[in-house]
Structure formats: C-alpha cells, structure tokens
Amino acid sequence: MKIAILGSGGREHALALQISKSPKLKKLYCIPGNAGTNSISENIKLDIDDFEKVAEFIENSKIDMVIVGPEKPLVNGITDFLEKKKINVFGPKKKSAQLEGSKIFTKLICKKYNIPTANFNISKNKEEAFKFLNNTKMPIVVKADGLAAGKGGYICDNLERSKNAVEEIFNGKFGNTDQILIEEFLKGDEMSYFILSDGYSFKSFNTAQDHKRVGERDTGKNTGGMGAYSPSGLINSELEKKIINKIIKPTLNAIIKLGDRYRGFLYAGLIIKNNEPYLIEYNVRMGDPECQTILPLLKSDLLELIISCCDQTLSKKEIKWHNKKSLCIVLCSKGYPEKYIKNLEIPNFTFIETDENNFTFHAGTEIKDNKIYATGGRVLNFVSISDQFGSSRNRVIERIKKLNWKNGFYRSDIGYKIINK
C-alpha cells in the first residue's frame, strides 16, 4: 500500500517509524514531515491546511490511505473533504472531531449522558464570567473553548488570576471566541487513556502519563507536553472497566446519536480520584508526546490495525504489547513556551544512537544542506524502553547529554511520581 501521513511533529515521526515496519507498506509519504521522517519516507512540502493541494497530490500519486496526525485539519473537516473525493482516510470526521474542537461541546455531551466530569459554567462574555467567578471558590480552571495547542487551560488559585485568564481568552489569545469554559478544579492523579475505534467497535490502546508544565515537579506554564511515560501506574482492571463503561461507551454512543460514527484514535484525558475516573477533555488523535511513548511498546502491525479500522474489522484483531516501561523526555528550545530562537543548528546529532530500545523522534526540526536545525519550541523526543521506568529515564538523559545542545533544555524529573514511589 501507498500511505501518506499528514503532519510534521514527533507524533507523526513515531507513526511513520511504526508504519514503515509493516510488510503491507509499499511507499510512505509524510506531508510535510520533518528531518526525522526524511530518512524513512518521502517528505512532501505541502501545507496540510490547504485541503485542495493535499487532495491533488494524493490523487496524482495514487495513494491508498491518508493517516491524519494533528488535530487542526481534523477539526476543520479534512476527513469529510477527502472522503468526498473517494480518498480513504483514517481519522474522525468534522462532527466527531468537535470532541476536541470545542471543550463546551464535550461538556454538554457529558451533562446529557451523565459522563463523570468536573462541574462547569459556560460564559458568553467577560461580564458573565466575572459574575460567576465572584461567587466561586478557588482554585478554579478557566479554559478557551477551541484549539489551543495544549496551552488554553489556566489553573487559577485566586480571583485576580482567574479574571486575568478570562481577559486573555476573550481578548483573542487563542483566536476569536464567543464563549468560555470555567470548571471546578478536580484534585487527583492525571492519566491518558487511548482507544482505537472503527465506528462499530473499539479496542483499548494503552495508557500514559503526560507532564504538561514546563518546570520541574510540574511547575510553571502549560506546554504541549514536556515528557511522558507508559503505561500509567494508575491503571487496574476495575478502573479500566469504569473508564470504558462510564466514559468511552457513552461518548461513542453520543456521537452515533449525532449522526456520525467515530473512526480513529481517541484520547481521554482523565483525573483519577479514589479509583474513580473523571473526564477532563478529549483529543481526537494520538497525544504528543504520548504517541512517541506508547508506540515503541506496540508489538502488533500498526498499519494492519489502521486498515482494520477503515474496513470495520477491528473487532477481529488482537493488539499485542511489549511488557516494558517506556519513558519520553522532550528537548525544547530555550525560551519555550514563550519566545525562542528558531533555525539554530543541532551539531552533534550523529552521536546519538538508536536501536530497538532507544528512539529519537524529531518534532520541530528541518534538514538544510545535510545539517539539522531546530525550527520549533519542542525539538526532539528521546524515548527509551526497559524493565524499569528509572532505567528508561537514566538512558534517555544519557543520550540527551551526549547531544550537548547548548540552546536546549529539558525536564530531568519526568516520571518522578512513579519512579520515586
């Protein structure tokens, strides 16, 4: 098969590497790809938000299937657009993708179908929001409704901070908005739970723990993700049954009642409190860096699983995993998540070895004249798998230190909650 992956981050590099191992693969394209995908696929420099250009290339190249990596094109309807042209796509349609495209859409589904989540308020302007906040106990969480690259949530411990968050969101920090979500702060442990769905059946697709804050011990500003580990230490059979029966099944059934069937990866961001799950938010694709953390543990043929989702035969498949511990640390450009310098060379990259237990996924990189340059805030993802999370982390840090990139920084405490138990 000829396959095209849309996207340019670490998630797409991880997907490409896993798919490149499949005997079913004939040719792999990444649109636009990055310096890492360049070695295992043909990178095609197209803007994935230009649906017409993407469709033209796919049709002219006789590509059999498109796998959509990031959320923005999914939320904007690329699956619907390509399917109208008889192009086979793995990823949810626009209606389903509103699970991530609008936090308020998801909250209203939770309310209607009794899906456990934090109590919430929807405000349509600053005045409404301020009135609600004036009569609310802190801490509180203030969220932009739409896509915000993982940075649209503010955990506020006082009234002034919460009002500042409202001001920033309504003033357009994350784009124009006519409503805002304010929700109860749930104290508990975070967990990411993933499934694969073909619209008629679904399979669990492992768990992870992400680290969103930029600083050690989960301090500082929110980011797209500074690292992750998999599997989560919180998961157990009783909890998984609750997640499936109280959260996943009601959500998929709600989508059916809205006239769609969910096909693709679905990622539930959860808070676990006393072994009870509460939905915080959905992502309609694999997480980043959770994808880079989970996929090295996968034994099964990923492309075969994705084909089965498109053929509605997922129920016949068994997903097999390595019984290992995976840990990922993200190397970032200094200044991230605020301003940082772009197009800086990463000179020692050839010193970094990769093998069946150690991986380096490119996120914000580009090749120019056979040299690798940092083009994004999150630059490289270092992943190691072993029998212990502590060993995996030590190996990752050894490899980052070998790189000795003076313009980068990283969190050295990823996995501290489970390693220090």
Task: Provide the residue type at 23 as one letter.
Answer: P
Q: Among 149, 129, 127, which Cα is nearest to 141's?
A: 129
The structure's pTM equals: 0.94
Q: Encode the chain (421 residues) as per-residue pLDDT tens digits.
A: 999 999 999 999 999 999 999 999 999 999 999 999 999 999 999 999 999 999 999 999 999 999 999 999 999 999 999 999 999 999 999 999 999 999 999 999 999 999 999 999 999 999 999 999 998 889 999 998 878 766 678 888 999 999 999 998 988 888 788 899 999 999 999 999 999 999 999 999 999 999 999 999 999 988 989 999 999 999 999 999 999 999 999 999 999 999 999 999 999 999 999 999 999 999 999 999 999 999 999 999 999 999 999 999 999 999 999 999 999 999 999 999 999 999 999 988 877 889 999 999 999 999 898 899 999 999 999 999 999 999 999 999 999 999 999 999 999 999 999 997 6
Q: Domains of the chain (ranges plus CATH)?
A: 2-91 (3.40.50.20), 119-184 (3.30.1490.20), 189-316 (3.30.470.20), 325-419 (3.90.600.10)
Q: Report whether 279 contacts 267 (CB < 8 A).
A: no
Phi then psi dihedrals of residue 150, to 5 deg: 80, 5
Instruction: Report residue 28 as tokens.
Output: 């792999």
Give the position of tokens 């006239």.
259
Backbone dihedral region of 30: left (phi > 0), alpha (psi from -120 to 50 degrees) or beta?
A: beta
| CA dihedral sign, ordered 291, 414, 324, 203 | negative
Helix or strand run (H / E) with residue 221: strand 219-222
Q: What distances in angstroms separate CA 344 from CA 9, 347, 373, 419, one per listed residue?
A: 17, 9, 5, 34
